[in-house]
Amino acid sequence: MKILVFDDAPAVGLRLGSYLADIVAARAELVLGLPTGRTPLPLYAALRQITTTRGLSWAGVRTFNLDEFVGVAPDAPGSYRAYMQRELFGPVGIPADHVGFLDGTAADLDAECRRYEAAIAAAGGMDVLVLGIGTNGHIGFNEPAPALHARTHRAALQAATRASNAGQFGGDVTCVPAEALSMGMATILEAKEILLMATGAGKAPVVRQLRDGGITTALPASFLQLHGNVSLWLDAAAADV
Ligand code: PGA
């Protein structure tokens, strides 16, 4: 795993934004996997800024997000779909028909997971996938457990994960759904290139385990060690340097 360390979270966002913008500019067609949460906010801010200053076109980009809450409609303010519309899709001009998203209000959630896998495959798989990491080592909503899921699936959210998502629901953890839909471990590991962002001292313990520990379902992110093209984009606090 390649490890890149920058001074602070805004610097991580700027450097990763610049790296991704170069890829968007260079490729006529690009399939991007994208995360939500607090960590990627500086990345999306940087991409909005670079798009304006460079006149970057996103016309050839198709996106797939990692996950979505069950029971939250795409246009509800707490949905990850609404987050992405606000932070990236709207401002840089990615049209809805280039956006792949799980629908947590689908009548048949298992069928929705299968539809998503098929849509990613039909797009030719993800060229570049940006990931965050939970303080419990989750990627997407692949939570630590005795066994992990290979494919897109329904995931029960752990208490730490619900607590860290309370901000999306007016700060009230009881309003955070207990379940989500998430890409699985194989879905993630099939991306051609993986860029994992982690910022802040709270992520330092899990980053240390990811870097130095073995591969274990107790730390789903540790499976990234099996992938040949992963880089960690860290600030000094998360890298603990
Ligand atoms: P965060 O979430 O960016 O809000 O810390 C990361 C994650 O849970 O993947």
Q: What residues make up the domain containing 207? A: 2-239
Residue 241: pLDDT over 80:
no
Q: How far apart (Å, rounded) are the C-alpha atoms in residues 30 and 11?
A: 24
Question: What average pLDDT score do residues 101-106 get?
Answer: 98
CATH number at residue 95: 3.40.50.1360
Active site residue 67: yes
pTM of the model: 0.97
Q: Which of 67, 103, 112, 235 is catalytic?
A: 67
User: 34, 164, 196: which to mutate for ligand 1, most atoms within 8 A of CB?
Assistant: 164
CA of 28 to the centre of ligand 1 (A): 30
Q: How many domains does the chain have?
A: 1
* Residue 42 pLDDT grade (very low, low, confident, very high; cuts 50, 70, 90): very high
C-alpha 184/C-alpha 189 separation (Å) is 9
Gap between the Cα atoms of 180 and 157, Å rounded = 7
Residue 110 among the catalytic residues: no
Structure confidence at residue 190 (pLDDT): 98
176 phi and psi, to 5 degrees? Answer: -75, 125
Question: What rounded mean pLDDT belongs to the chain?
Answer: 97
Model confidence pLDDT, tens digit, residues 154-195: 999 989 889 989 998 999 999 999 999 999 999 999 999 999
User: Measured from the CB, is residue 132 less than 6 Å from ligand 1?
Assistant: yes
Place of tokens 């994208």: 34
